[in-house]
Structure 1
């Protein structure tokens, strides 16, 4: 998961870099809007891409984490302390999601409260909410919020501007990034994306609204007064001081030549590079896990379910591919052949003991590749000797081909 998140953030950085350097100063506002929305979605999809030809070049081994075998029924196995089983990163992630969801609800409640408090004047294409003693101006879907203290000479221009936001569903864009902020609150690029698309929304609305009047007059409306700002990230605000200068520069800019739309073709090599990187990195990660599966903490081995195989290896006496029977047979085998008394006789270790054993079932069904991590050398030797007694089995299958399958067996006593 961490590798996936890193790739998402990396791809978003690259997409935004291309936008800032090549596209942000062009007047293709609608195309830029869809570029930002599309690449935000692609950044989550691309890390899932796999190229079959690249994947097939590397032989696969499927590691299956078997159920833990608990021995020594005569003893009470110590319960792991709550903090030992605590995944702090998961807890932190969900706390962050909860907090940002609460923040979102608070913002939404502020908008609903304004509607209920001041009422709605229904117009032909929108709903107007007049705010007494305010100079705020913003929209949310087809609701336009307008401060009564805004001069009447400017109200019509502002409404025209906000109507563009409403008609083009700009609120949906902002809510999309608001959702991303909830599930990826730790990712700064989500905030960058939301900032960029908010500015594009203003460019689009300015371009449409300024057509009904001279641009000079429209610009004067932006500069005439200092207005209040409502600090809600998923509303479209007419007066946002940090954006006004950029909006004026863009309105006075000469229309970009059509040939400059070729800049969007930069996406093709960029996407190709990202897909190739994703495929290659997943192969390298798979190889690394295979080589270091015992060297690193065995508790972090990825749990690959039996369902990843078309046919699971078959333990003698079980029906072909019977996963439940395989697990039970392995459990019975360990309980029958593991010498608990040997572990009890070792004075150097005390309390709960855990062994992680790895073995493989080859394409001929023979068991091999024994690797064990144990708290004492004698236990390691004994576990390997025990695993060597495993009977020959029927190998597993994937995509109609017999495959070598690896197993991780935790033993606790």
Structure 2
């Protein structure tokens, strides 16, 4: 909520400053009216827009799609500790108090708004009215300043009966009624009720009211072409008096600008340039204030640093920002393979390795090959003896076979914990969704899940600390065949220099 308010306020501030600097003095009155109203809507909507982008530095999970992780963390208290820490760090009493104050002020402003509207409507109901053109003249017994609300023009009754209402003044108020300027005022007042913390709304109110006067003056001068006579009438009509909060009326502070606008000459070329610049500005502000969501990247097995499924202690590393350590392949070993098979192993991996240079100046190897070829590499790797395994480790090569996917639902407690947005960012079937989306599911609807901790730049702009990837039963069934037949992981860890390597562990291929 705080992030939304900040973005909305800043966006609305930029737009109103641009209006005052570049648009207010231009005689493109209908465009300016559209701009002011659209700027308010735009600043409210653009922080809600989200774009998925591919991150430059990808956080690669050390363990993927292994549901045992969460169970182990639950047993050891890691998740519960995180939840407790997050909850203890947030001052609920203070936040509740601030929210109470915010809602209280909103309520008071809403009451004031309704009182103002009802006072105008009550005045209309107790006064005599006369139909004129597309509006109604509301004849008020008191000596008031003429004003318009919706299609009602409020004027002093004695002034009307004595025929003292100038035709130009009446035409001015009729323009307000026909162009429905009161709707603009009601709109900005309602926004102010619920977003009163935005200081730029006062600028918008003044700009919208001034634009209304420009439009009404323009309508009058289309019918009464004597500009000087109308200007003198305006000066005579700027009187001190009580005004209603939701009405259009003459105001001394804006009269000077109105007089200048009447004699303003249009410059179409300049107006077109400025209108085009506004479109560019809208695009830039959309990119600036919208929500950027780092798209989840489905790492293929050869792109992920993996570990054996027997591991029970969960450990996360930000492998994107530091070189990976060479693995120790000591452990399970086979009878050994022949020299021809060794050559086949290394040459096949080299032929199917792609070297991608990143912005940090290092070249990262990625191994890509068909599942059948991967199965062959795993067959050779699993038969290597201890020395051959160590040679592969020295070359930065690791080959594993993940177990066949098996459904394993989380516990109800784990599922409820996932709904905490300050801890978990949720991806369901590879799509980033709000934590509230989990309310549409039961814990038994989940077939598989994996967890990654965010580090460094990956935390920027996010309140959650963990990325949780969830696979539903339906998606599990849909992708089962592909995943069951493509289980081999081949990775080349670490990085190489500027030139592509032409040998493994000192042995040229």
Please give the range of the TM-score, normalised by the shorter of the 2 chains. 0.5 to 0.7
Once the 2 structures are TM-superposed, how far is the Cα of residue 46 of structure 1 from its aligned partner? 1.1
Shift of residue 210, structure 1, vs aligned partner? 1.9
Higher relative contact order (CA 8 A, sep 6+): 1
| Alignment match, 2:203 | 192
Out of 455, 470, 473, the position equivalent to 1:396 is: 470
Return 183-192 or 300-309, whichever deviates more. Answer: 300-309
The structural deviation recorded for 1:254 is: 2.4
Aligned to 1:123: 132
Mark the CA change 1:257 to 1:149 in structure 2 (over 3 Å): closer, same or farther.
farther
Q: In the alignment, is the contact (CA less than 8 A) between 2:238 and 2:251 conserved in 1?
A: no
| 1-structure distance, mates of 2:60, 2:247 | 50
Check conservation: 1:54, 1:279, Cα contact below 8 A: no
- Residues paired across the two proteins, number: 304
Contact residue 50 and residue 278 of structure 1 kept, 8 A: no
CA distance in 2, matches of 1:325, 1:305: 19
State whether structure 2 residue 428 is matched by structure 1 residue 309.
yes
Write the distance in 2 (CA, Å) between the matches of 1:322 and 1:234. Answer: 48
Distance 2:191 2:423 in 1: 28
1:36 aligns with 2:36: yes
Deviations 1:2-29 (A, max 9, x none): 0111000111111111111111101100
SS in 2 for 1:199: helix
Task: Please give the per-residue CA displacement for 1:191-243, whole angstroms capped at 9, x wherever unaligned.
Answer: 21111011001000101112222011111111114424443332111x21222
The equivalent of 1:17 in structure 2 is 17
The corresponding residue for 1:53 is 53
2:150 to 141, 153, 157: 141
Q: How far apart in 2 are the matches of 1:16 and 1:362?
A: 44
Corresponding position of 1:407: none
Q: Distance in 1 between matches of 2:197 and 2:244?
A: 19
Picking from 221, 225, 229, the partner of 1:210 is 221
Matched residues in 2 for 1:85 and 1:323: separation? 33
Deviation string for 1:143-172 (max 9, x for gaps)? 011124557454322221111111111111
SS at match of 2:186: helix
Query: Per-residue deviation at 1:34?
Result: 0.3
Q: Work out which of the residue numbers 95, 113, 117 in structure 2 matches 1:108.
A: 117
TM-score by length of 1: 0.64
Q: Which residue of 2 is the match for residue 91 of structure 1? A: 100
Mapped to 2, the partners of 1:104 and 1:60 lie a distance apart of 54
Distance 1:56 1:113, change over 3 A: farther
Aligned residues of 1:23 and 1:32 also touching (Cα < 8 A) = yes
Q: How does 1:231-242 map to 2 (within 5 A)?
A: 231-237=243-249, 239-242=250-253
Q: C-alpha distance in 2, partners of 1:301/1:101? A: 32
Distance 1:183 1:12, change over 3 A: same
For the structure 1 residues 58 and 115, does the alpha-carbon distance in structure 2 shift closer, same or farther, using more than 3 Å as the test?
farther
Match of 2:141 in 1: 132
Question: For residues 24 and 94 of structure 2, what CA distance do their matches in structure 1 show?
Answer: 48
Segment of structure 1 superposing worse, 270-279 or 49-58? 49-58
Deviations along 1:249-300, one digit per CA (max 9) or x if unpaired, are 11122233344232011223322222222357666xxxxxxx9xxxxxx9x9
| Superposed displacement of residue 308, structure 1 | 5.8
Report the secondary structure of 2:266's partner residue.
Answer: coil
Residues 1:164 and 1:301: Cα distance change in structure 2 (over 3 Å) = same
Question: 1:277 and 1:113, CA in 2 relative to 1: closer, same or farther beyond 3 A?
Answer: same
Distance 1:189 1:84, change over 3 A: closer
* 8 Å contact from structure 2 (residues 144, 242) kept in 1: no
- 1:164/1:205 contact within 8 Å kept: yes
How is 1:270-349 mapped onto 2 (pairs within 5 angstroms)?
270-279=281-290, 302=421, 309-310=428-429, 323-324=442-443
C-alpha distance in structure 1 between counterparts of 2:120 and 2:60, whole Å: 54
Secondary structure (helix, strand or coil) at the match of 1:139 reads strand
- Residue 101 to residue 400, structure 1, CA distance change in 2 (3 Å): same
Distance in 2 between residues matched to 1:280 and 1:57, nearest whole Å = 18
Q: Distance in 2 between matches of 1:95 and 1:232?
A: 24
Normalising by structure 2, what TM-score?
A: 0.52
8 Å contact from structure 1 (residues 306, 323) kept in 2: no
For the structure 1 residues 302 and 262, does the alpha-carbon distance in structure 2 shift closer, same or farther, using more than 3 Å as the test?
same
Structure 2 CA distance for partners of 1:12 and 1:229, relative to 1, 3 Å: farther
Tell me, in whole angstroms, the C-alpha distance in 1 between the residues paired with 2:177 and 2:3.
38
- Where 1:14 maps in the other structure, the secondary structure is helix
Relative distance call for 1:201 and 1:59 in structure 2 (3 A) is: farther
Q: Which residue of 2 aligns with 1:265?
A: 276
Contact 1:28 1:256 in 2 (8 A): no
Determine helix, strand or coil for the equivalent of 1:187: coil
Identify the residue that residue 382 of structure 1 maps to in structure 2: none
